[in-house]
Structure 1
């Protein structure tokens, strides 16, 4: 039997558009909005992300994993999510003054109370998202995301051009989340409201799976966001603004790609016979890594010469951070999908235990080592990635055992590409060091990258059919 997930190719094009459009809007906003405004938004956003983490009870994952899900169950899950969203909003609204006190910044209270509305908006789309993913409706999901991000970006640009500063970023976040939830719900409402009978039994079944995902999400939040908290608290708005822009230019687009890959991979691998999982996982992740790693390498290299011209010297401090985040992005592409193996193998409890006992301590070690040694956002980024590499290797060791995948054979498939990427990086570094003229340097880097892609074009075209299951 040959199974080809047709929507993934179309979804990849839509995702590429989302990345490019979002990056373009971000660059334009960075020229208009002060560095400190990005930092203030980052301070508030980290707490909004925490409340969004509480909202995700794990129902989207449990819906995908469930072997006995019925459409009549969706209404109960939907109602609970809406209720939790409203409750979280109320708590967030009341504690907003404490956040201003924590940062010693009165603006945080106003910004947070506006951004926390995104939790209520997101609550309307959680169940729809999980259901559509289970049905492999990736094309419909992608269309909704694409339209929502486009409209939100254009509104944010208009708000910024009219001199409203960080409110442009606030409107962008609220509109993105709201439009996505409305879009998901409009597609799946017939299934969700097919039966309006509320059942506590259904909630119990899904909470049994979902609470493990929730514990992981909470521990993972602290592991992923402590750097922003620390920089905002001790290094100030400007340092955090620089850190957040570099993060949004490199890590956020790659995170979007990884999320789409994981969303597609999870239901596919869940539906396979266990003995096929290890082979298909290795095949899919290999293709994903080989396609996108060269793009990250050339993107980071070009950013070193383009950013000062596009964003002016006020953002010059982002350049070394972009290099560190470039490594982090490549590491994410290689390692992030392995976390799905806890869920695919039916071990969600092991996922949160790994996060609490391994990921979180290593992340803390990296953050505090970087802060204490360098007292800078760059030092924190370096420390995080040093210990995250150790975490990655530990994660491979534990997750690969669950699906009986040999770690040596897994990495052996990458041997040629690792060497090629090292050579490509070395040549780009030499060009950056030896060539001073902007136009010449830009042209040489583009020519080098195109030459690499030309040599590999046949393989790249073959690899574009990422989710293809052979007979």
Structure 2
């Protein structure tokens, strides 16, 4: 196999680089920067295309697309079987493992495509729409195409090959609006999104195979090897299945009880609310999982790296959640128009989604790296009971109830996973509180301040609820959050002090030093 980091020396059997602690720290930092930069581009493209499509399509049309594709994400996960994660974590012969995963996931993708095609009439019956039936049948082929990306993607992640971040992800993000927007403007309605989705997946498939430089046949697939990898992957698969069951129930209950227009508001509010959370998960999973896997047998190093990662991801997630609560609804109305106010209401109610996902992202990766995937059985059970139970309980309150159900579920699961990660890494309770409490305190103070004393409607009533008021409120919230954080967050003060004195460098936990305490 051809890897990106030839200078570090690639082990031909395991497909991993032979880097030292300093090499790994450098790779992780570079990967985080690359992932962050490209994700900003990808998310901006996604946001602009979402806003533009909202001007061309009605909430009902978006709702029909959501209903028709409700099975897709669930069946994609089932086809993969979480074997891509097992390939990244695998410590044995990578050629044999890659061929085994390829044929297993390709067969799963074909099976899931046929299952989705057969289930299309059932979806149409449930949502009482022939259009939903047609959309579900038309998008069934996506499952097979996506299953063919698993091995190239997994190998690139395993090698810290950042070409996917730099080339494939932005190209894939652009492919959807380039195809969907002209079709929507031409009156294709929901079909513009279907065709745009195919364009994005084809770009993804072609790009990964060209850049990964891998072909099946280099190893020998075996049932024995598949069973060994599946033991690690099974709890992750079950976790994904439960997550998508919950998402399907949310979509189905919302569409059935509240109608297609409300489902469109749910779809777009959810899409906007997931943008920051998705960015956090993508950065954490792509960079931290392989890095944590390399240091899994070095407890002190792993503990310090976990605490540092958790501290800064949480520090980024809390002010975003506060900002969503403060300006989520007016921003959606300004960007999408008055018909989409319901999406803004839902966005505010699901503000807890991002902070919950921030907790989950780092904790999940360190648990996987330690090979303790069986712990996910507990969170899968919690997600199934709490996620579905709350949506059924709160659906009478409309989109607000659905959003609150999402927020509470994600935060609860995040806290449980952090508790498991504490046991896996040996962190003390004081370590965790030192990482998590200061940003929460700063975020709460900032939110209360901009909603009362610093409210633009109170201080600058001439700005109104337009873009001027939104920008002023966002700047005020961010400023207060940063000031309070400097007062209560010792870790932030230490980092800023180090940055102001370039000659002095704090020990980096990825380099093996323990600087993870806040």
Does the alignment pair 1:441 with 2:466? no
2:158 & 2:201 partners in 1: Cα distance? 21
Of 46, 64, 69, which residue of structure 2 is paired with 1:40? 64
CA offset at residue 302 of structure 1? 4.0
- Separation (CA, whole Å) in 2 of partners of 1:319 and 1:13: 27
Does 2:277 correspond to 1:249? no
SS at match of 2:93: coil
Matched with 1:203 is: 226
2:186 & 2:216 partners in 1: Cα distance?
Answer: 42
Residue in 2 aligned with 1:49?
73
Deviation at 1:395, TM superposition (A): 3.0
CA distance in structure 2 between the partners assigned to 1:470 and 1:206 by the alignment:
29
Aligned pairs for 1:131-280 within 5 A: 131-190=155-214, 192-193=215-216, 195=218, 197-272=220-295, 273-280=298-305
Closer, same or farther: CA 439–109 of 1 in aligned 2, 3 Å: closer
**Counterpart for residue 339 of structure 2:** 314
Per mean C-alpha deviation after superposition, the further-off stretch among 38-47 and 382-391 is 382-391
Query: Is 2:315 the counterpart of 1:290?
Result: yes
Residue number in structure 2 paired with 1:398: 420
Aligned equivalent of 1:71: 95
Q: 1:439 to 1:141 in 2, by over 3 A?
A: closer
2:395 corresponds to: 371
Q: Show the counterpart of 2:32.
A: 8
Deviation at 1:300, TM superposition (A): 5.3
Structure 1 residues 35-92: Cα deviation after superposition (integer angstroms, max 9, x where no partner) = 1011111112221112112111121111111111322442232122222211211121
Find the aligned partners of 1:116 and 1:164 in 2 and give their Cα distance.
19
Q: Indicate how the Cα distance of structure 1 residues 256 and 110 shifts in structure 2: closer, same or farther if over 3 A, else same.
A: farther
Give the structure-2-normalised TM-score: 0.83
Determine the C-alpha separation between the residues in 2 that align with 1:267 and 1:185. 21
Q: How many residues align?
A: 466
CA contact (8 A) 2:98 2:219 kept: no
Q: Is the 8 A contact 1:367 1:380 kept in 2?
A: yes
CA separation in 2, counterparts of 1:57 and 1:382? Answer: 30
2:152 touches 2:212 (CA, 8 Å); kept in 1?
A: yes
Residue 350 (structure 1) shift = 2.2
Q: Aligned in 2, Cα 1:213/1:292: closer, same or farther, shift over 3 Å?
A: closer
Q: Tell me, in whole angstroms, the C-alpha distance in 1 between the residues paired with 2:421 and 2:243.
A: 17
The unaligned stretches of length 5 or more in structure 1 are: none
Change (3 A) 1:406 1:454: closer
The residue that corresponds to 2:447 in the other structure is 425
Alignment match, 1:469:
511
* 2:13 matched residue in structure 1: none
- 1:336 aligned partner: 361
**Alpha-carbon RMSD:** 2.7
Q: Answer whether contact 1:15 1:257 (CA < 8 A) is retained.
A: no
- SS of the residue aligned with 1:405? coil
- Aligned counterpart in structure 2 of residue 349 of structure 1, from 363, 369, 374: 374
Residue 157 of structure 1: how far off its partner (Å): 1.2
In the aligned structure 1, how far is the partner of 2:479 from the partner of 2:379? 41
Distance (Å, rounded) in 1 between the aligned partners of 2:317 and 2:420: 25
Post-superposition shift, 1:107? 0.9
Query: Matches of 1:212 and 1:322 in 2, distance apart?
Result: 30
Q: In 2, Cα distance between the equivalents of 1:235 and 1:162?
A: 29
Question: Unpaired segments of 5 or more residues in structure 2?
Answer: 1-20, 487-491, 501-505, 514-518
1:24 equivalent in alignment to 2:52: no
Q: 1: distance between equivalents of 2:97 and 2:471?
A: 57
**Please, which moves more after superposition, 52-61 or 355-364?**
355-364
Contact map agreement 1:8 1:467 (CA 8 A) in 2: no
Tell me the alpha carbon deviations over residues 219-247 of structure 1, each in whole angstroms, 9 at most, x when there is no partner.
Answer: 22223432112112222211111111111
Match of 2:8 in 1: none
Q: Secondary structure at the match of 1:46?
A: coil
The one of 433, 437, 450 equivalent to 1:415 is: 437
Cα 1:324–1:179 change in 2 (3 A) is same
Equivalent residue, structure 1, for 2:136: 112
TM-score by length of 1: 0.90
Preserved CA contact (<8 Å) 2:317 2:354: no
1:291-340 C-alpha deviation (Å, 9 max, x unpaired) = 34334543554443332233221011222222122232122213332223
Return the alpha-carbon distance in structure 1 between the equivalents of residues 416 and 363 of structure 2.
11
Q: 2:351 pairs with 326, 342, 348, which one?
A: 326
- Superposed, 1:96-111 pairs within 5 Å as 96-111=120-135
Separation in 2, partners of 1:317, 1:230: 17
